[in-house]
Amino acid sequence: MNRKPARWMCTLDERILEHLSEDPWSTPRHMSRVVKLTASRGRVEERCQLLSQVGLIAPIFEDSTMYEITCEGKEYLEGELDVENRPTPSPQVLRS
C-alpha cells in the first residue's frame, strides 16, 4: 500500500484518517487525546475541516464536529486515491 498524499497534507492528517477508519465516528476533542501525535483539539479541528473540504472525511450531520471517514478517505488509505489530484482546500473557510 503506497499512499499518495497531497503537498498540503501532514502526518496528523494520516493519523486522523487511520483513527476514523477504525472507529465509526469521532470528534476532534477525542482524537486529540488518542491520536499518536501531540496535537491540540483546535489543530485537529482545523485538519478535520481541511480533510472534509476535499472529501476524505465528512461531518456525520450538517455543522457537526463529529466526523466519519468517506469512501474516498478509505481509498486514500488503501493507496487507490491520489489526493494531489483533488482540489486544494482553502484555509480561509476554517471555522473560528
Q: What is the pLDDT, as a whole number, of residue 93?
A: 66
Transcribe 1-42 into DSSP letters. ---B--TT--HHHHHHHHHHHHSS-B-HHHHHHHSSS---HH
How many Å apart are CA 61 and CA 50, to the nearest integer? 17
pLDDT at residue number 44: 96
**Single pTM value for the model:** 0.92
Domain ranges of the chain: 11-78
The total of other beta-carbon atoms located within 10 Å of residue 64's CB is 12
58 contacts 75 by C-beta, under 8 angstroms: no
Q: How would you write the pLDDT of the chain (96 residues) with one tens digit per residue?
A: 799 999 999 999 999 999 999 999 999 999 999 887 789 999 999 999 999 999 999 999 998 999 999 999 999 999 999 999 999 998 776 654
pLDDT of 94 reads 66
May I ask the CATH architecture of the domain 11-78?
Orthogonal Bundle (1.10)
Q: What are phi and psi of 57, to 5 degrees?
A: -135, 170
